[in-house]
Amino acid sequence: MRLLLISNSTNPGEGYLEHPKETIREFLGEKTKNAVFIPYAAVTFSFDEYEARVNARFAQIGHRVTGIHRFINPVEAIENAEAIVVGGGNTWQLVKMLQERKLMKAIRKKVRQGTPYIGWSAGSNIACPTLRTTNDMPIAEPLKFKTLNLVPFQINPHYLDENPANHGGETREVRINEFIEVNRDLYVVGLREGTSLLLEEDELVLIGNRKARVFHYGEDPRELSNEDDFSFLLR
C-alpha cells in the first residue's frame, strides 16, 4: 500500500495545503494524475467549493482532483481511480456519508491493490481501524465507528501538547491515555501540525521537522522524529 497521512491542511501564515505540497507531488509522481477527491467532511461550505480549493493547489504540482459527488456511480469512480484523496473537516460526517454510500469497502480494496491514498486531518483519521481518536464533535451518527483499517494503529491529528490558554479541561494526552486504557492493544500516534506519515512498501516514516508522540498502554509515550523507523506500528 501507498499512504500519505497528513495531520493538517494549513499552518499559520501559509496557504491551503502549502506545507505538504512537495510531499504530495513526490508521492503522486511526475505523471499527471486525476485523483478522485472525497469532500464529505465539509459541513459549512459546498463540495464544489472544497474541490476548487484542493484543485487550486494540486494544479501547482501538476495534478488535479474530481469530486466524487460529480459521479453518478461513486463506487465505480473509486474502482477506476488513479489516486484517492480524502479531505479534512468533520470526521463523523465523513464516515457517515462513506458508509451510507457503501464506499468504505471499495476504498479499502482499491488502496490495498496499490492505488495511492492521500488524507489530511479527518482523511488521515479514517485510514485507521476506527474514528475514535478524532478531535471532532459528533455532529452526525454513523452506522458504526469502524473505518478503513488501512493501518493497524490510530492517529490523533492536530496533536497538541498543551491546552489553549485559560482552558481548564483535559489535555490531548489525558484523552489519549483514556483511549489506551480501554483499548490496550492499539497504538496511538499524536501527529503534530506540519507533519505526515508516509507508508510505502511496508516502510512507515514521519515527514516534517516536528516529532510525533506515540502512545501505548503500559508504556511511557515516545517522541519519535523523521530519523526514526515507525514500521513497528505496522506489526
Provide the pLDDT for residue 176.
97
List, run by run, the mean pLDDT of 10-residue segments along the chain (235 residues): 97 94 95 95 98 97 97 97 98 98 98 98 98 97 98 97 76 95 98 97 95 98 96 94
Distance CA 171, CA 174 (A): 5
pLDDT for position 152:
98
- Catalytically active residues, by annotation: 121, 136, 158
Q: Round to the nearest angstrom and report the end-to-end CA distance of the chain.
A: 15
What's the CA gap between 123 and 87, in Å, rounded? 5
Which of 163, 167, 174, 132 shows the shortest CA–CA distance to 149? Answer: 132
What CATH number should be reported for the domain holding residue 74? 3.40.50.880
The one-letter code for the residue type at 171 is T
pLDDT at 166: 72
Domain that holds residue 65: 2-234
Task: Tally the domains of the chain.
Answer: 1
The span from the CA of 233 to the CA of 207, in Å, is 16
pTM: 0.96
Rounded Cα gap, residues 46 and 39, in angstroms: 9
At 163 the pLDDT is 74
